[in-house]
Structures are given as structure tokens and as C-alpha cells.
Amino acid sequence: MKRSLLVAFVGVLTVCAPALAHHGNAAYEDHWTEFKQVKVTKFAWANPHALIFFEVKDPQGKVVEWVAETAAPQALRLIGWHSTAIAPGDVISIFVYATKTGNPAGRLNRIFLADGTVLHDTQLGGDTGGGYRPQ
């Protein structure tokens, strides 16, 4: 079993999301969940928002594909993202505000790449991207 699939839920950290946001975030929990050393399956550098797909092993050992949304590419470029910032096969650690429905989806907080680079979300990642504001 690849290390990338040896995923641990480190626990839920009760860190509240910033109130300021482009859209409201009623669909998501107000605390993040960390997934350590997960494998990226797809990176959609797309509108309306970019998506990161990754594999998570649930407590029963079943591999589940999660998806985290972040901002639109033109906003992400401002805070150091690029279409090649993440690629399928990358092993990352990722913090996600999971959806309240229990489905494997959520809003990104931040990602740690294998080389230590940190990529933040614009609105819920503690980085305003130089001026990201509600529309």
C-alpha cells in the first residue's frame, strides 16, 4: 500500500473560518479537517472555481475520492498559484472545511506540498490575496 494512501484524520481543529468571504459558506463546517499525505488524483484549474481531487482512506479502509474547491484561477494567480502548482500523483497534506452533508467535499483552507510549499485558499486560507473582497 502506498504511503500516499495511508491517510490519517488528525482530528478536527476548532479554528473558525474568517467571516469575510466572496460567497457565504453556509454549506461548510466552520472548522477544518486535515488530511495528511494524500495523493492528488486531479487538479482542475477551472472556473467558476478550481478543484483539487484527492484520495482518502476512510476508517473502514475504503479509498474515497474527496474534492476541495478553492477560488477562481485569476484570483489564485495573485497569491502564487499556477496551473502546474499541483499535479495528479502529488502527495500533499490538505486542510479542508468539509461540507455539512457528510459528502467527501469541502472548501480548501491550505495545502502543504511535498517540497514544503504552502498554497492557501483566497477566502478561507488566511490569505486575502492582496485584496480579495466580497463581490
Partner 1 sequence: MRKSITRSIVALLAALALSQIATAQGRGGREVPDGFIREGVPAMPNPPGPAPRRDLSGAWVGPNNYTIGPIPDLTPAGEARFKLNHRYLGFDVGKGDPIPASNDPFITCDPLGFPRNLVAHAITQRGGVLFGSAPNRILIAYEQQRVWREIWMDGRQLPKQVDAKGAPESRYYGHSVGHWDGDYTLVIDTTGVDERPWLYEEGYPRSSSALIQERYTRVDQYNVQFTVTVNDPKFYTKPFQFMKANLYWMKDQMFAETFCIPSEGIQYRDSITAPSGIKVLQ
Q: Which residues bind partner 1 (CB under 8 A)?
A: 21-28, 30, 44, 46-49, 51, 53, 67, 69, 72-75, 77-82, 84-85, 99-101, 103-106, 113, 117-120, 126-135
Minimal distance in Å, beta carbon 3 to partner 1? 22
Q: State CA 118 to chain mean position distance.
A: 11
By beta-carbon proximity to partner 1, the closer residue of 8 and 15 is 15
By beta-carbon proximity to partner 1, the closer residue of 6 and 87 is 87
The DSSP line for 13-49 is E--PPPS--SS--TTB-SSEEEEEEEEEEEEE--SSS
Minimal distance in Å, beta carbon 122 to partner 1? 9
By beta-carbon proximity to partner 1, the closer residue of 13 and 46 is 46
- Strand bridging mode 63-69 / 105-112: parallel
